Amino acid sequence: MCCKYYKGYPFTYAATCLKMVESRINKVAKSVPSPPPTLRAFCCSISTWLTWLRNGALKEEMKVVDSCSLTTPTLLGLSSSLSSLCAGTEFLFQLVQGAIPQAYDETNSSISATTFAVHILDYLYKKLTEVCLVQGGEEDAYRMILHAFVSSLLPYIEGLDSWLYEGILDDPFEEMFFRANKRIAVEESEFWEKSYLLRSAKLDTGCVTDSLLSIKRTNDVSRKELNDASGLTKEKEAKERDSDVCPLFTKEIARDIISAGKSLQLVQHTSMTSSVSASGRIAGLSLSEIFCVTLSALIGYGDHISEYFFQEETTAPLVKSFIGGQKIEGSNESFQEITCSDKEWCKFLVDTMAQKGRADHLSCHALGEEVYNFDLKGDKLGLDGNDIPSLGFHPENPAITTSHKFLHANRDAWGPLSLSREYYLPPLNDEGLRQAIFDGSAASFVATKNTNYTFGFQFGESERDRLKENVNFLEELFPFPTLLPPIQEEDHVSEVFPFQENSTLPSRTLNWIGRVEPRNTPLPTVILQECLLVFIKKQADCIGRNILSKLLREWRLLEELEVLRAIYLLGSGDLLQHFLTVVFNKLDKGEGLDDDFELNTTLQESIRYSADATLLSTPDSLVVSVTRNTATTEDDQRDMPLPISTPRKSRGQNFGIDGLDSLMFTYKVPWPLELIANTEAIKKYNQVMRFLLKVRRAKFVLDKARRWMWKDRSSAPINRKHHWLLEQKLLHFVDAFHHYVMDRVYHSAWGELCEGLAAARSLDEVIEIHEAYLTSIQRQCFAVPEKLWALIASRINSILGLALDFYSVQQTLSSGGAVSAIKARCEMEINRIEKQFDDCIAFLMRILSFKLNVGQFPHLADLVTRINYNHFYMSHNGSLIYAPGSNAVPSKSGKLFAGQRD
């Protein structure tokens, strides 16, 4: 319809808008399957506004037909009086058209509930942002959008409440921005990563998502969108990074929300208690109740009361201070000294707390409000002298609560209203029958003239007392069960049965929003931050503190990480000493490592006779296995840096410096700590351990070679001094690198890990800190697949391989190298080893001392300082120094480095 065509007929256009809105809402309500909660709540809000707008028109109509009116109605007068109403109807029509696009009717079965819920909430959020800076006469538009936004948001808040405070994803319509993977149980190691996942936009049908976006974009343009460029840019960036289906206001804390619920499930599963949930409740109120109270305070009075809910023990004094009109002590911000009856939000708070048993009777009555909690002790029913029980909170019969005024006004009718009062059957009129039977002869023996079931006919005394106790019990359990609550037309169920969870306060708040002019019209960002997000973050922090306490105390996280450190960083003095000695000797003899049983037997012996055996709770928790290939998976092949040269190829891959790469050490971390030290983490630990085992093996063979050289010093081989100098160079490098590892990797990285764990706030942060720790030790041990570290690792592997070659030469000389030809070949091999060693050192000195690399990774400078002790290889100005008699060629090393830099 064209607005211009109806410009002269505002009443007809307004009526058309109302009828189209009603038709649209009814169509959604009758759709099959039933609409999800967010859409249903939005339609309920629109229906409420339909009723309010029509009631406004009805009042004007009654004024026109009022015979007592002295004024004559005119078209101009009606246009003036109904101008606000006509504008409201048009705005309501636009609101429905934007929130429920035509795509819903076209592809109802294809649009997911999540997509539609996010669409409605984001649309209302942006629309409320547009109208928050209201001008004169535009307050109705703000109230209308605020009412629809709050109503549509409440189902989402209730879902977050059950997730954050109970650890239950109560989402049968799948509206939440994350989903549950039911195939993953809480006790599985993949629970943290795969149990609850963010919903991705790719899960929805592409055409449906595009249609929603196109309709949304068209509506935005028609409403003169001010930030078109930024909006398109954000949409483009969202598409590029495959943004998750999540409301705008929860994107930043979406992962924190998921983490909090998973943490709560984890704690509840391990302790079988809900202590975290109970301790996290703020003043005993649900998330939706807190949202409604703080919203009414912010909108109606500009009061920021969220800070006062953070301490539950101060909530009651807060209420009492408002009751007495006093200022709150110990606060930087004091409220005005106004009686609490003037502040609607305080009434909401106290009434809700009274229903939950958190406010005392006198405090509630001091507000001038009727409180549904009273005591009727002392009022008699005349039923065998028993008292009527207290008519307080009866969830099994809420009609009593809602009818308390009627009950107080009709105390004389309590007897007939009570079912227990009518429990006793009336006496049976059988006097004539008795006379016929007994014929008057036994009349003197009959105690009663008729059968009275109340006073024990055919019952013994004990049976009668038992039945009387049952009657009293029914009286207490179901007082007045036949009483129906007084109900009027169009009453909300939440007002008839006010004690259902999350019912009364939201209903009262929405009604209050519709009838009260807001004193403040804050941005929706401010509303959500003040009334919702701050409490979500509070609960997430509460859960985080609880699970961190369990991690560090009950689950002994640091102790288990110390075990991993002792095993995989070779930090234990002798835990693996015997095992490594046996394995090194087997490799020296040319024996393969292909017997898992023999290796594990040796490992268990090493642990059993170790002084650090107490580190392991059970010896068999550490197992070693042999992979048939050096790199078992494609990831291992990609992650493992390979040397640029392979010295002594004749020794074979299995017995060279990479001979230990086939070993895989597996340590069984107890649950739930395996959520942190999972399979991928153990894989990274093994990569670091393989590199450290190469250093340990090089040190082992150099020590054996030195002992042989010391024993054979009397034989005076050719150029013995040259052999000793090369051995010292190799040993110095290996020792310097080993000390660097123990200092930077074993101690410094561990200290950083402990500091990070002390500052962590959630299990997600603990996992991230542990992953950062693994990345740090991988980088400092040059076991990452990045180009820089692969280049450095290849030279270090080459030097460690040269140590094995030097050991092989000395083994040959000590075992029968008296033949001159063998000695000559050994000398050639020594020269080759020294030349390759100098080339590798030259490259390492250049690349490790490069300013750009040192600036990004300071640990490289520490490694250079240890290797280049007393500037043996490189002067302080960066020029290489070669020892006398060295065969290294500086220009060659320089060219090699230059090529690498380019």
Nearest to 403 by CA among 415, 391, 412: 391
Counting Cα atoms < 13 Å in the Cβ hemisphere of 689 gives 26
Q: Return the H-helix or E-strand segment holding 381.
A: strand 380-383
**At 293, which helix (H) or strand (E)?**
helix 287-301
Please answer whether residues 312 and 319 qualify as being in contact, where contact means their C-beta atoms are separated by less than 8 angstroms: no
pLDDT of 491 reads 60
The helix-helix angle for 787-814 and 720-740 (nearest 10°) equals: 140
* Rounded CA separation 94/148 (Å): 13
Q: How far apart are CA 506 and CA 41, in angstroms?
A: 12
pLDDT along the chain (902 residues), means of 10: 50 86 89 87 91 83 70 70 81 90 66 88 93 70 92 93 92 91 87 89 46 40 38 44 76 92 89 51 84 91 80 54 44 40 77 62 38 33 38 60 74 72 66 72 55 59 75 74 68 56 77 85 92 92 90 90 91 84 87 86 90 83 79 46 41 64 90 89 92 90 84 62 86 87 85 91 92 90 84 88 88 72 84 89 82 69 75 69 47 36 32
- What local confidence, expressed as pLDDT, does residue 118 receive? 92
Q: How many other CB atoms sit within 10 Å of the CB of residue 61?
A: 12
- From residue 464, alpha-carbon distances to 260, 384, 418, 454, 468 in Å are 57, 14, 20, 9, 6
Confidence (pLDDT) at 327: 40
Residues in the chain: 902
Q: How far is CA 341 from the centre of its chain?
A: 40
pLDDT number for residue 615: 85
Supply the DSSP symbol for 658: T
How many CB atoms are located within 10 Å of the residue 520 CB? 13
Q: What is the DSSP string of 92-117?
A: HHHHHHHHS-THHHHTTTTS-HHHHH
Tokens 């895989």 -> residue: 664
At 756 the pLDDT is 92
Q: Partners of 729 in the beta sheet?
A: none
pTM over 0.85: no
DSSP SS3 for 557: helix
Report how far residue 333's alpha carbon sits from residue 24's, in angstroms, rounded to the nearest whole number.
47
Q: How far apart are CA 730 and CA 899, in angstroms?
A: 26
pLDDT of residue 482: 72
In whole angstroms, give the CA distance from residue 178 to residue 672: 23
Unique residue bearing structure tokens 């020794």: 651
Res 496: pLDDT: 56
Q: Please state the domain extents for the chain.
A: 10-111, 150-203+243-324+340-359+499-554, 556-629+657-677, 693-881
